[in-house]
Amino acid sequence: MHRRAALSVSVALLLAAPLLSACSGGQPHAGTAAVVGGERITTSALQAQVNDVRAAQNRSGQAAAELIAATPNLERLKLGSMLQSRIIDKMADSAGLTATTKEIEEERKAFAEGNGGAAQFEALLLQKAATAPGQSDRFLTDRVLLAKLNAKYGNGKLAEPAAAAAKALDIEVNPRYGAWDAAQVQLGEAQTPWITQKTRPEQAPAGA
């Protein structure tokens, strides 16, 4: 897997095709950001990921304010990433594929070598994918599994297994965080005008 020249990531990098068509008509209970395969993603678990990213951004010195300003909807971004990871896991499980620790570490080494070292890789991951250093294992796991899925089904041919995985998971998203946009493969604004969207102030850079 040593094939990285430079880091190139985005929220919608996963399949380059629609992942799922909708959120369910039901609404998750209080304290739940989403329900995936009958399992809750709690708001506290989501907030923990958000806090890790904000903390990493605040440690970025002069770049902190710019990084924070570039991710105003971080909760939605992180929830979208968490949901995509679960869909990838389901696809891989259905295909009988796994990502070993060795493969994940090889992927980490390849990314680091292709991006000027481990520290630079982590900095780019934070900048381009709003992913804190402690969240890099999940990012790398997704990359390993996607490479295997593409090898099995063919590049650009993951839409059908993705749709099957999403249907099986029966995803429900709390409208507070938006709704799945199947065309863009990301969590977008919820079409719920009776809900007033309120943006909480983000954490200011350390020392501000």
Query: What pLDDT digit, counting tens, does each position of 34-45 carry?
Result: 999 999 999 999
Is 208 within the bounds of a domain?
no
pLDDT given at position 163: 80
Number of domains into which the chain is organized: 1
Q: What is residue 19's predicted lDDT score, i.e. its pLDDT?
A: 37
124 within a domain of the structure (yes/no)? yes
Q: Is residue 177 part of a domain?
A: yes
pLDDT band with cut points at 50, 70 and 90 for residue 92: very high
Is residue 164 one of the residues assigned to a domain? yes
Answer yes or no: is 8 within a domain: no
Residue 188 phi/psi, 5-degree rounding, is -115, -170
27 within domain boundaries: no
Considering the domain boundaries, does residue 110 fall inside one? Answer: yes
How confident is the model over 61-86, as pLDDT tens digits?
889 999 999 999 999 999 999 999 99
Q: What number is the average pLDDT over the span 8-33?
A: 50
Say what the pTM is: 0.78
Return the structure tokens found at 77: 């971004």
User: Among candidates 151, 168, 150, which has minimal Cα distance to 159?
Assistant: 150
In a domain, 165, yes or no: yes
Mean of the pLDDT values across residues 149-166? 89
Residue-number span of the structural domain to which 81 is assigned = 32-188
pLDDT level of residue 140 (50, 70, 90 thresholds): very high
One-letter-per-residue 3-state SS of the chain: CCCCCCCCCCCCCCCCCCCCCCCCCCCCCCCEEEEECCEEEEHHHHHHHHHHHHHHHHCCHHHHHHHHHCCCCHHHHHHHHHHHHHHHHHHHHHHCCCCCHHHHHHHHHHHHHHCCCHHHHHHHHHHHHCCCHHHHHHHHHHHHHHHHHHHHHCCCCCHHHHHHHHHHHCCEECHHHCEEECCCCEEECCCCCCCCCCCCCCCCCCCC
